């Protein structure tokens, strides 16, 4: 399978714990995005990488959130000191641009529940 | 701030009816994509529109990109229960690399 994969699919954690999610993009894609999605809403942009460089972070991404993409391959999203409001689906996507068009392909997401 | 507004937010229709979903922005987009998302899964790409005025058909789905590349629409003919899902438009506004999503349209087609 050469699609975007995310791990884990589900995570239940206690408030105050740290969690880390992993995303493996499509290998030839140079851009990688993280989004957060709550029920019934469209995905909210969190951050994106071009190769290993993190080029933009949303104001939604508080100091408790950090993302890395070492060597421009897989990426991790860490949430420290989780809060109940962090409960959501975290989606990763990768893309490459050509001719002015960008098409992003998504993983199946990691559903986080903070209890 | 680039925003993509979708309307309607919710739509519940009977099988066989037609419907149109709109995606509007004040920003110009170099291309727009439409996705469908099922509960618990990531969005799945349906189509990309690139040229202003472009119309693309995918079986019973017709996608249109506005002449000014600021808006798009999705028309479904003779909707079926299998069309039920969250429909999302998305794109990269010209001059940015930020890939953003619309607010979403939740469609339910009743048998």
Looking at the complex, report in whole angstroms how far the Cα of residue A6 sits from the nearest Cα belonging to chain B.
Answer: 10
Q: Which of B33, B65, B72, B99 best probes binding to A when mutated, by most A CB atoms within 10 angstroms? A: B99
Q: Determine, for residues A109 and B41 on separate chains, whether the beta-carbon distance falls below 8 Å.
A: yes
Closest CA to A6 of A87, A62, A74, A88: A74
- The more confidently predicted of residues A98 and B73 is B73
Q: Where do we find the tokens 């607010």?
A: B103
What is the Cα–Cα distance from A25 to A18, expressed in whole angstroms? 23
Vertex A26 angle, CA B59 and B38, to 5°? 45
Within 10 angstroms of residue A97's Cβ, the number of other Cβ atoms is: 17
Closest alpha carbon within chain B to A88: B40
Residues of B in contact with A103 (CB under 8 A): 33, 45, 48
- Condensed to tens digits (0 to 9), the pLDDT of residues A4-59 reads 999 999 999 999 999 999 999 998 888 999 999 998 788 999 999 988 888 888 88
pLDDT reading at B1 higher than 70: no
Chain mean pLDDT for chain A: 91
Residues of A in contact with B6 (CB under 8 A): 42
Q: Determine, for residues B101 and A43 on separate chains, whether the beta-carbon distance falls below 8 Å.
A: yes
Give the pLDDT band of residue A100 (cuts 50, 70, 90).
low
Closest CA to B101 of B19, B29, B11: B29
Within 10 angstroms of residue B57's Cβ, the number of other Cβ atoms is: 12
pLDDT reading at A1 higher than 70: no
- The more confidently predicted of residues A31 and A102 is A31
Strands (E), A16-108: 19-24, 31-37, 44-50, 53-57, 65-68, 75-79, 88-98, 101-106
Q: Is the CA virtual torsion A64, B90, B10, B12 positive or negative?
A: negative
What is the Cα–Cα distance from A57 to B5, expressed in whole angstroms? 21
Phi, psi of B22 (to 5 degrees): -115, 150
Q: Determine, for residues B99 and A108 on separate chains, whether the beta-carbon distance falls below 8 Å.
A: no
- Condensed to tens digits (0 to 9), the pLDDT of residues B40-53 reads 889 999 999 989 99
């Amino acid at each position: 399978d050469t699609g975007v994969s995310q791990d884990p699919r589900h995570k239940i954690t206690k408030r105050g714990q740290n969690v880390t999610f992993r995303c493996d993009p499509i290998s030839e894609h140079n851009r990688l995005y993280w989004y957060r999605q709550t029920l019934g809403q469209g995905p909210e942009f969190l951050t994106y990488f071009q190769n290993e460089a993190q080029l933009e972070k949303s104001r939604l991404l508080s100091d408790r959130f950090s993302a890395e993409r070492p060597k421009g391959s897989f990426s991790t999203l860490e949430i420290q000191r989780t809060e109940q409001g962090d409960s959501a689906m975290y989606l990763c996507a990768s893309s490459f641009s050509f001719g002015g068009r960008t098409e992003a392909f998504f993983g199946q997401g990691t559903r986080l529940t903070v209890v | 701030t680039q925003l993509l507004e979708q309307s309607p937010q919710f739509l519940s229709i009977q099988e066989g009816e037609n419907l149109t979903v709109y995606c509007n922005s004040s920003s110009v987009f170099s291309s727009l994509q439409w996705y469908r998302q099922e509960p618990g899964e990531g969005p799945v790409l349906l189509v990309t529109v690139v040229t202003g005025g472009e119309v693309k058909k995918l079986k019973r789905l017709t996608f249109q990109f506005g002449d000014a590349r600021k808006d798009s629409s999705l028309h479904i003919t003779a909707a079926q229960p299998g069309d039920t899902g969250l429909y999302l438009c998305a794109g990269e506004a010209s001059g940015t690399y930020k890939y953003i999503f619309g607010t979403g349209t939740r469609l339910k087609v009743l048998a």
